[in-house]
Chain A
């Protein structure tokens, strides 16, 4: 295990549902990230939190809403998603700008 855990590992939801993804890191890091991974495409950085402050939002649609209550926990709240949002959502953490440690991801399917 990398020290970054994500729950749930798999999620199937309808377009009208509201769900949340959870990420927790036990590494004492101060930065946390959400990435979207789609087949045959580069990992897409969605959000960056540094010391609980959001420092990056890469033009992500408002149907994705991040929350970082403390430096160890990160959430991604989902509502009214589209089928094209189906992907693997990866959480990562780092100590400042050093190596990013990734969690195993949540496989999301939107019906």
Chain B
């Protein structure tokens, strides 16, 4: 049973555009929502994370928006650059050792 559903599976954006990735969850006990970035041949690396007590968190060009009532959260990549081309995974946990991951979104930024 997939606890976190992620969409789209892939997206293409022009350089300078905005990339938006959406995730939805069912378990209301989740209280930690990280996003991971993975480049080919590398393991995932933490990009940004949010907890349900805030609705938005921004780090540089990356922003997480969180909607607790809708049980949804999203990643926005502003001013997308070719170096942002990677696979992005959302995840959720109850602040324990078990992260439930989405299936991933492959982002391609065209120059």
Contacts and interface: CB of A to CB of B under 8 A. Distances in A.
Whether chains A and B associate is yes
Interface residues of B, number: 25
Give the secondary structure class of B's interface. Answer: loop
B74 to A, nearest CB: 17
Contacts, number: 54
Give the secondary structure class of A's interface. Answer: strand
A48 B46 contact: no
A105 B97 contact: no
Contacts of B44: 43, 90, 102
Contacts of B46: 99-101
B41 interface: yes
A40 B9 contact: yes
Contacts of B93: 97
B41 A42 contact: no
Nearest to B2: A42
Interface of A: 2, 4, 31, 33, 40-43, 45, 48, 50, 55-56, 90, 92, 94, 97, 99-105
Interface of B: 2, 4, 6, 9, 34, 36, 41-46, 49, 89, 93, 95-104
